[in-house]
Homo-oligomer: A and B are copies of this chain.
Amino acid sequence: MSSAVLELIYRDIASDMLEVEAEIRAVLESPVPDIASLLEVSGRYGGKRMRPALVFLVARESGGVCEGHARLGAVVELIHLATLVHDDVIDVATMRRRQETVNVRHGNYEAVLLGDIIFSRAIHLLARLGNRRALLALTQAVSTVCEGEILQNRHRQDPDLTETTYYTIISGKTAELYAAATGLAAHLAGAADGVVEAFALCGLKLGIAFQIIDDCLDVAGEEAQVGKSLGTDLRNGKMTLPLLILREQADEATKALLRRVILGQEDAGGVALLNDALRSSGALEEAVKRAEAHVAEGLLAVRSACGRDSLALAAVGRYVLERKL
């Protein structure tokens, strides 16, 4: 189901996406063999290229695709790649997209530097585009992404995390780059400020929904279907939206169990018990409902600003929500 929606979305922008791939490949080249082989590993991290796809979808609905959009898409994706390389170092991750991570293959030393290289080359590419607003927005976004990740780290093993802080964290670490991609895509397409802001808000809301569904999948997904290790949030003492909802609704015994799991005071048996409580509580379904509401809000903002629905963004929203539990 998801992949059918996604296919429809990508079919229309296939040639644009090829241009993005060419820009990304050019940035990840080097005449020095040692550097080239390292850059090549990160090139294979490519996933669905959701962020460049959003750039083109928004461009088509806000004034038309122009020369700068492929470059913007490449820059946003490269920034995303750089954060993945650094995330794997700090999470001590060993696998990504069924391959060994850069930190495993080449060590932390080179993985940190590789992330820096990809990031600086991405901004170099953006500087060549010469759009001041894009430069300001994207360098700001990178800082916000990292600040979100630091906040997340500070609130590990914090059973009292508030919903406000949860949203600050996921808006930063995940949604901010989506918002920059959609907002700047409309800006480059020549849209008025109100339209730019609406698309930026829609990107933010899609990113928030994406992260909420990700947090639900970590509790209740099938590893084979999702394609990555799951259950890590509970084991790492990370409070996510389903847990925040459970904390509100559960009886005292479950609340106490949740607290002990987040504080790392329970063994695998306790974690499994909490997982069962979570699945039977309705908190996951409630979290998905909230994700749906975020998508609807984003689509409504675009509709209000443009005077019509965005079919493409609605399809992306459907895809985000259909990564099924």
CB-CB under 8 A from A35, the residues of chain B are 147, 150-151
Cα distance A112–B130 in the bound complex, in angstroms:
28
> A272 within 8 Å of B by Cβ?
no
> A229 within 8 Å of B by Cβ?
no
- A116 contacts B113, C-beta separation under 8 Å: no
Most buried by B among A90, A123, A147: A123
Residue from the list B107, B124, B135, B142 in contact with A143, Cβ < 8 A: B124
Cα distance A167–B121 in the bound complex, in angstroms:
23
Task: Say whether, besides A116-B119, A119-B116, A127-B132, A110 and B150 are in contact (CB < 8 Å).
Answer: yes
Interface hits, A280-294 → B, CB 8 Å: none
How far is the CB of A90 from the nearest CB of chain B, in Å?
4
- A150 contacts B113, C-beta separation under 8 Å: yes
- A119 contacts B117, C-beta separation under 8 Å: no
Task: Say whether, besides A108-B90, A142-B116, A38 and B150 are in contact (CB < 8 Å).
Answer: yes
CB-CB under 8 A from A149, the residues of chain B are 113
**In the complex, residue of chain B having the shortest beta-carbon distance to the beta carbon of A34:** B154
CB-CB under 8 A from A120, the residues of chain B are 119, 139-140, 142-143, 146
- A139 contacts B153, C-beta separation under 8 Å: no
Task: Say whether, besides A124-B140, A127-B136, A147 and B86 are in contact (CB < 8 Å).
Answer: no
Residue from the list B107, B117, B128, B143 in contact with A136, Cβ < 8 A: B128
> A94 within 8 Å of B by Cβ?
no
List the 8 closest A-B pairs by CB distance, nearest first: A120-B142, A124-B139, A127-B135, A90-B109, A113-B146, A120-B143, A117-B146, A116-B146
CB-CB under 8 A from A130, the residues of chain B are 132
Give how many copies assemble into the complex.
Answer: 2
How extensive is the interface on chain A, given as a class?
Answer: 35 or more
Cα distance A135–B121 in the bound complex, in angstroms:
11
CB-CB under 8 A from A127, the residues of chain B are 132, 135-136, 139
- B121 contacts A139, C-beta separation under 8 Å: yes
CB-CB under 8 A from A117, the residues of chain B are 142-143, 146-147, 150
> A32 within 8 Å of B by Cβ?
yes
**In the complex, residue of chain B having the shortest beta-carbon distance to the beta carbon of A133:** B127
How far is the CB of A9 from the nearest CB of chain B, in Å?
30
Cα distance A86–B38 in the bound complex, in angstroms:
18
CB-CB under 8 A from A86, the residues of chain B are 112-113, 116
20 contacts between A and B (CB under 8 A): A32-B147, A35-B147, A35-B151, A86-B112, A86-B116, A107-B153, A108-B108, A109-B153, A110-B150, A110-B153, A113-B146, A113-B147, A113-B150, A116-B146, A117-B147, A117-B150, A120-B142, A124-B136, A127-B139, A135-B135
> A30 within 8 Å of B by Cβ?
yes
Interface hits, A70-85 → B, CB 8 Å: 83
Cα distance A30–B151 in the bound complex, in angstroms:
13
Cα distance A30–B140 in the bound complex, in angstroms:
13
> A89 within 8 Å of B by Cβ?
yes
Cα distance A107–B116 in the bound complex, in angstroms:
19
